[in-house]
Structures are given as C-alpha cells and as structure tokens.
Amino acid sequence: MTKKLFFSALVKFSLGILLVGILIFLPAGSLSFVNGWIFMGVLFIPIFLVGVLLMLKNPALLQKRLDAKESQKEQNLVIKLSGLMFIIGFVLPGLGYRFGWYTLPYPVTLTASAIFLIGYCLFAEVLRENTYLSRTIEVQENQTVIDTGLYGIVRHPMYTATLLMFLSMPLILGSLYSLAVFLAYPFIIVLRIKKEEELLTKELDGYQEYKQKVKYRLIPFVW
C-alpha cells in the first residue's frame, strides 16, 4: 500500500459519494428523502469495506480498478450509455419524492437492499477469485483462464453480480420510473459481453475450451 494509492482511492470514493448525493438529493429538494439515505448506505458502506480490504490484501488490483480507461471505441459507447442510465436513473427518484409520484412500499426497498448486498457479495467473491479482473476489456500478461468457483457456473459472474445490483438500485430508491431506465442495463451488458468474448477467444489461451465447458454466459440455464 502506498500513500498515493490511498489518497487516490479516498478522493475517488469521496467524489463518488458527492456525485451520487447530488444526483439524488438535489432533484428531491430535501435531505429528508429516506430512500436516498438507505441507498447511499447500502451502496457506499460495502464499497468502503471492499476498498480497504483490497488496499491491504491486493493493492495492485485496486490500482487497476481505479485507473482503468476503456480504449475500444465500441466499449466507450457502452460506458457512455451506462453513465447516462445512471444519471437519469438516480435523478428520477428524487424528482418523484419532490413531486409526490408513486413510491414503492418500504418492504420492497428492504428486499431490494438485501438483493443488492447479495449481488455485492458475489462481486467481492469474483474479486477474490480473479486477480486479473479489470474494468476494461483486455488480456493481461500471464493471464490464464479461471474455471473454478463462480466461473464454473457462468463465464461472466461479475456481470451477473452487477445485474443483481443495478436492477435492485431503483427499487431501493422506490421508483418504478427509475426501474424502467435501469432495464436498459441487461441490453447494454450483453453488448459488452459479446465484444469481450470475441477478444478472449482470440487472445486468451484455453478460452475456447472454457466456453465449451461452461455453457452459460450470465444467467444459469438462461443465457
């Protein structure tokens, strides 16, 4: 662990809290938006804990997660579409609170919070299993195919985890309007997976055999 890495992680974590807070509470026009606070806690407390763990146990992986920038033009479009989805999806619940739109009951919020945390636990397990994990589509030096654990069930367990997390976000925020926006995510991630598998099949030794061994990409018995 270095002071530079610690400072970089702390700055990005703080900026993330500030940005999400602005997107949620500014449209709400109030800090009394309870769903917003539940969401902030469910989102950022696990991020903080996993970030501390990575800093202590695997700072190299944390560095890759912080610094990664997508170089492929098609994937830059995926990143931009995802960013737009998040912005609109976070703004709508606040507007719904301000203008009295329909809000989902709290049991739905609590159930969605549990689903989000399950998704985040899966995400943390993927980080533990795959030290090559990157935010960009690339094949790293000395990278090998991982086919155990969650990777023995689906080929892209990280995206399975994010699917659970992202689709539960609007439910935590209590907004059906936001859910309609986040339903774009499965289509966005399918585009990314297809491009990623093209690269891995071409450049990563053993990936073609791995695809034959593990049939499902994202959801067991579905796709």
Q: Which residues contact 137 (CB under 8 A, 6 or more apart)?
A: 70, 72, 75, 192, 195, 196, 199
Name the packing angle between helices 59-67 and 34-57 (round to 10°).
130
- Give the percent of the chain with pLDDT over 70: 88
Among 160, 161, 159, 154, CA closest to 214: 154
Q: Where are the domains of the chain?
A: 3-213
Contact 50, 127 (CB under 8 A): yes
- The pLDDT assigned to 164 comes to 95
Mean pLDDT computed over 125-141: 66
Q: How many residues in total does the chain contain? A: 223
Among 198, 204, 196, CA closest to 158: 196
Summarised one tens digit per residue, pLDDT across range 158-210 is: 999 999 999 999 999 999 999 999 999 999 898 888 888 888 888 888 888 88
Query: How high does pLDDT run on average in the chain?
Result: 87
- Give the percent of the chain with pLDDT over 90: 53
List the alpha helices (DSSP H) in 100-184.
Answer: 106-129, 157-172, 176-182
Mean pLDDT computed over 105-125: 95
- The pLDDT assigned to 92 comes to 97
> Which of residues 131 and 53 earns the better pLDDT score?
53
Protein fold of 3-213: Four Helix Bundle (Hemerythrin (Met), subunit A) (1.20.120)
Using the predicted structure, report yes or no on whether residue 78 has a pLDDT greater than 80: no
Q: Which amino acid is at 122?
A: L
Q: CA geometry: angle at 65 spanning 59 and 71, to 5°?
A: 135
Q: How many C-beta atoms surround the C-beta of residue 168 within 10 A?
A: 26
Query: Can you read off the two tokens belonging to residue 163?
Result: 């699917």
- The pLDDT assigned to 148 comes to 84
Q: How many C-beta atoms surround the C-beta of residue 99 within 10 A?
A: 10
Among 43, 181, 165, CA closest to 112: 165
- The pLDDT assigned to 74 comes to 57
> Which of residues 75 and 79 earns the better pLDDT score?
79
- The pLDDT assigned to 56 comes to 82
d(CA 59, CA 74): 29
- The pLDDT assigned to 90 comes to 97
Name the 3-class secondary structure at 175: coil
Mark residue 134 as left, alpha or beta (left: phi above 0; alpha: psi -120 to 50; beta: remaining).
Answer: beta
Name the 3-class secondary structure at 146: coil
Summarised one tens digit per residue, pLDDT across range 11-27 is: 999 999 999 999 999 99
d(CA 170, CA 176): 7
- The pLDDT assigned to 72 comes to 55
Using the predicted structure, report yes or no on whether residue 50 has a pLDDT greater than 80: yes
Q: Count Cα neighbours of 92 within 13 Å in the Cβ-side half-sphere.
A: 22
